[in-house]
Structure 1
C-alpha cells in the first residue's frame, strides 16, 4: 500500500505549513502529493509552486474540475507541469455537480459521463500531438462550428515530454467508476469503504472489459483513495474530528436528490442516516447533522483510534482495490501516521 499526501482545499488562504508537509512527505517516502479545487483556489498553481521544492514525488490534481477549463486549456497545463516536473505530473479530473458547474462556472451540466469521455479524448490527443486537432463531438467541436469560419486545426507548439500523461477520474457512482476503468489510468474515490470493495470491483471490471486495444494493462491501474487517518487513544474523540466534514458532504455538498456523496452512504447501508443528516444540514442545523452520524459510519470510511486498532483495520484496505492511501495533515501528523501505517 503506497502513501500519498492530499493538501486539500484552501480556506481563507494557502494551507498553513503545506510546503513543509510536502517536503517531509517526500522525505518519508510518500509516493505522491495532490491538490484540489472547488470555487476558490485552483489546483494547478499550488502544485507548481510547492512542487518546485520536490524532486521525486509525483504531483497530481485531485481534482481539476472539467467545467472550469476547456479540454485544450487543461491539456496545456498538463503539458507544462509535466515538463517542469520532469515527467511527474498526474492529471486528476472530475465532473463536480450541477450546483458548482452551473452556479459557479456558468456551464450546463448535461450527461456528465458523455462529456467526460469527450474531454479526456481531446486532452489525450493534445498531449500525443500526432496531428492537428479536430474534434466533432456532442459537447466539443474543434475548430468551432458556427463561428467566424476562420478557426483552423492546430497542434500544440510544445512537444510532450511524455506522449501519454496519466489521467485519473474522480468517481463515486458505478457508471462513472466503470468509465474511469475504461478510459483512465486511475480512479480517485472519495468515501471508499472496504465493505464496498465487491461493488467497486464489479464496476471496475465492467470498465476494464471495454478498454480499447493498446490501453495500459489494468494491473497498472491506480486507485488512490482519500482516507482520513486519526491516531488517537479515544475512538469517539477521533470520530468527532471527522463528523463535521462528513456532515458537510452528506448534507450540504449538493442539492437534495442530486448529492452524489449522500448516495455513496445510502448504497453503503446508511440511507436513513444520510437522509437525516441531509435534512438537518439543509435546515441550518449543522452541529446536529454531525452528531447523528454513528461511529461505525466514520470507521467504515476512515482509520481512527489507537495504533494497534488502525494496524488491524488496515488489512482490509490492503486487500481492497485501493493501491494508494491519500492522507492529510501537517508534517508532524504525516510522520506519526506514516509510522503507524508502516
Structure 2
C-alpha cells in the first residue's frame, strides 16, 4: 500500500500548512501529492507551486474539472508540469456535475462519457506529437467547423516536445458506466467515497472496461488511488462527529436535489433513506441536523477511524480489495508522520 497526500481544494482561505505537509510527505516516503478544484482555487497552480519544492513524489490532480479547460489547454498544462517535475505528473480528470458545469463554467453537461472519451483522445494526440491534432467531434471538433467558424482554423502540433509521449491519466468516476470507462481508456481510477465492502461490485464494473476491445490496461497495471479519511484515535465517536458535516455537504448539498452523483454513491452503498433525509434537511438550511442524523456506520463504511491496530487491519482490507494508493489528508505534520509510520 502506498500513501498519497491529498491537499484538496481551498476553502474560504488557503490552508496555512500545506508547504510543511508537502515537505513532510516527501521526507516520510509518501508516493504522491494531489490537489483538487471545485469553484474557487484551481488544481494546477498549487500543484506546481508546492511541487517545485519536491524531487521524488508524483504530482497529481484529483481532480481537474474537464469543463474548466479545453482538452488542448489541459494537455498543454500537463506537458508543462511534466517537464518541470521531471516526468512526475499524473492527470486526474472528472466531469463534475451539471450544477457546476453549466452554472460556473457555462458549458454543456450532456454526454459526459462521450465527452470524456473525446477529451482524453485529444490530449493523447498532443502528447504523442505524431501528427497535427484533429478531432471529428462532436464535442471538441478540431479544427472548429460550422456556420459560426471562420474556416481558418488549422490543425497544429504542440511547439514544445512533451517530456513523455504518454502522461498517465486517471478518472474520478463514481457511476458504473464511468468506472468501466476508466478501466477501458485510463491508467487508473480515483474514487472519492470508496468502501471495500463493495469491492466485488467495483470489480464487475472495472472488468467490463478491461474486457472491451482496445482496452488500455489490465487489472495488473491499473491503479486505484482512493481518497480516504484515516484518523488514528482512541476517540472514534468524536472523529465521526467531525466527519459527518463533510458527508452531509456531499450527500445533500452538491449538485441539484435530483442530480447529485455523490449522493448516488451512497444510495448504491445501501443508504438511500439516509441520503433522502440528509438532502431534505440540508436544503432546508438545517445543515447541523443533516450531519447529526448520519449514522456512525455510514461514516465507517468509507473511512478508517480507530486505534493503530484497527487502522492497520482496515488498510490491509482496502489493499486486499484492490486499492494500491490511499490519498489521505492529515491535519498536521505529526499526524502525517504517524500515518507514515503505521502504514
Question: Per the shorter chain, which TM-score range?
Answer: over 0.9
Q: 1:50 to 1:150 in 2, by over 3 A?
A: same
Deviation of 1:217 after TM superposition, in Å, equals 4.3
What are the superposed Cα offsets for residues 56-97 of structure 1, whole Å, 9 maximum, x if unpaired?
Answer: 000000111000010000000000000000000000000000
What are the superposed Cα offsets for residues 145-203 of structure 1, whole Å, 9 maximum, x if unpaired?
Answer: 02111111100001111110000000000000000000000000011001011110000
Deviation of 1:19 after TM superposition, in Å, equals 1.0
Q: Tell me the residue number matched to 2:163.
A: 161
SS of the equivalent of 2:322 reads: coil
Q: In terms of mean alpha carbon deviation, does 43-52 or 9-18 score higher?
A: 9-18
Deviation of 1:27 after TM superposition, in Å, equals 0.8
SS of the equivalent of 2:305 reads: strand
Q: Distance in 1 between matches of 2:236 and 2:43?
A: 33
Q: What is the 5 A alignment of 1:1-342?
A: 1-146=1-146, 147-212=149-214, 215-329=216-330, 330-341=332-343
What are the superposed Cα offsets for residues 32-52 of structure 1, whole Å, 9 maximum, x if unpaired?
Answer: 000001111111111111100
Q: Distance in 2 between matches of 1:91 and 1:161?
A: 14
Q: Distance in 1 between matches of 2:256 and 2:218?
A: 38
Q: Distance in 2 between matches of 1:287 and 1:218?
A: 42
Q: In terms of mean alpha carbon deviation, does 318-327 or 12-21 score higher?
A: 12-21
Q: Distance in 1 between matches of 2:106 and 2:328?
A: 32
Q: In terms of mean alpha carbon deviation, does 316-325 or 59-68 score higher?
A: 316-325
SS of the equivalent of 1:303 reads: strand
SS of the equivalent of 2:189 reads: strand
Equivalent residues of 2:196, 2:321 under 8 A apart: yes
Q: In terms of mean alpha carbon deviation, does 331-340 or 198-207 score higher?
A: 331-340
Q: Distance in 2 between matches of 1:17 and 1:148?
A: 49
Q: Distance in 1 between matches of 2:135 and 2:72?
A: 11
Superposed CA RMSD in Å reads: 1.0
Q: In terms of mean alpha carbon deviation, does 291-300 or 11-20 score higher?
A: 11-20
SS of the equivalent of 1:90 reads: strand
Deviation of 1:337 after TM superposition, in Å, equals 1.9
Equivalent residues of 2:3, 2:328 under 8 A apart: yes
Equivalent residues of 1:143, 1:153 under 8 A apart: yes
Q: Distance in 1 between matches of 2:12 and 2:284?
A: 25
Q: Distance in 2 between matches of 1:120 and 1:312?
A: 37
Q: Distance in 2 between matches of 1:165 and 1:54?
A: 19
Count of residue pairs brought into register by the alignment: 340
TM-score, with structure 1 as normaliser? 0.97
Deviation of 1:211 after TM superposition, in Å, equals 5.0
Equivalent residues of 2:29, 2:340 under 8 A apart: no
Q: Distance in 1 between matches of 2:213 and 2:97?
A: 26
Equivalent residues of 2:4, 2:325 under 8 A apart: yes
Equivalent residues of 1:82, 1:89 under 8 A apart: yes
5+ residue gaps, structure 1 = none
SS of the equivalent of 1:141 reads: coil
Deviation of 1:313 after TM superposition, in Å, equals 2.1
Q: Distance in 2 between matches of 1:202 and 1:251?
A: 28
Q: In terms of mean alpha carbon deviation, does 12-21 or 68-77 score higher?
A: 12-21
Q: Distance in 2 between matches of 1:317 and 1:340?
A: 15
